[in-house]
């Protein structure tokens, strides 16, 4: 395969879906991943292929290290590895910390943070062998400032920020860049729980006065993967001036 390849986790909806379409349009071969909505993943693949793009579906649970190994076995057979990894898979949990169960806590840590470790670990050897590569972690502004009633979510995003900075230092000698995007309020299904009054109250707090579209995050991601190699270990905010 002559095209550069990219794996985007959680690409059946929201930011991941927007990124998949943007990278396919830019000429990348996109490996599409999700665990729960495989039919939407197949629909996305059909859309990309119909538009002349190139993609492969690799469904699986990236919070499970065994499934990550299987995903990368498929990738390795097809093209050796990925030039770019976007760790996007994530879930939210809203409520008081005291109402959170052990299973809730374990699930959000595995999905939001451990998946970044598992996928990065699997992607790195190929990148090191080529002496180039990009890892981009989709995070949140709550990883910087924290959010009430989203303690676990905020903790996982803070963990991503620390992982990003540390891994960037570890991989810089191999010419691999690791950065993160700290998203503000994006108009995705994750925020679909909000009613109209809550949406308006939240928009009133955002200096830009609106939620971002997933496509805006995808546009930023695409630009970040074309930045100079000297840019690494950065947490780039896209939050409409919120923080």
Residues annotated as catalytic are 153
Contacts of 33 (CB under 8 A, 6+ apart): 7, 8, 9, 10, 11, 41, 57, 58, 59, 60, 62, 71, 89
Can you read off the two tokens belonging to residue 222? 């695409």
Sign for the CA dihedral angle at 111, 151, 189, 221 comes to negative
Using alpha carbons, list the distances in angstroms from residue 211 to 158, 201, 203, 205, 208.
Answer: 22, 12, 7, 11, 8
Using alpha carbons, list the distances in angstroms from residue 62 to 116, 138, 227.
Answer: 8, 14, 27
Contact 180, 204 (CB under 8 A): no
How far apart (Å, rounded) are the C-alpha atoms in residues 97 and 93?
A: 10
């Amino acid at each position: 395969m002559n095209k550069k390849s990219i794996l985007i986790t959680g690409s059946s909806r929201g930011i991941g879906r927007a990124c998949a379409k943007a990278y396919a349009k830019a000429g990348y071969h996109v490996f599409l991943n999700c665990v729960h909505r495989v039919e939407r993943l197949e629909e996305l693949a059909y859309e990309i292929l119909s538009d002349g793009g190139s993609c492969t579906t690799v469904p699986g649970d990236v919070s499970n290290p065994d499934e990550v190994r299987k995903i990368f076995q498929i990738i390795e057979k097809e093209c050796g590895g990925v030039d770019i990894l976007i760790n996007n898979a994530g879930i939210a949990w809203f409520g008081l910390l005291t109402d959170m169960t052990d299973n809730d806590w374990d699930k959000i840590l595995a999905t939001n943070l451990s998946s970044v470790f598992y996928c990065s670990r699997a992607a790195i050897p190929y990148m090191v062998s080529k002496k180039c590569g990009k890892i981009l972690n989709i995070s949140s502004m709550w990883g910087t400032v924290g959010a009430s009633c989203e303690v676990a979510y905020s903790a996982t995003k803070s963990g991503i920020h620390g992982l990003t900075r540390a891994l960037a230092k570890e991989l810089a000698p191999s010419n691999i860049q690791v950065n993160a995007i700290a998203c503000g309020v994006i108009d995705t299904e994750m925020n679909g729980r909000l009613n109209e009054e809550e949406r308006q109250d939240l928009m009133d707090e955002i200096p830009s006065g609106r939620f971002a579209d997933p496509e805006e995050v995808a546009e930023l991601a695409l630009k970040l993967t074309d930045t100079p190699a000297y840019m690494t270990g950065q947490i780039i905010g896209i939050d409409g001036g919120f923080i």
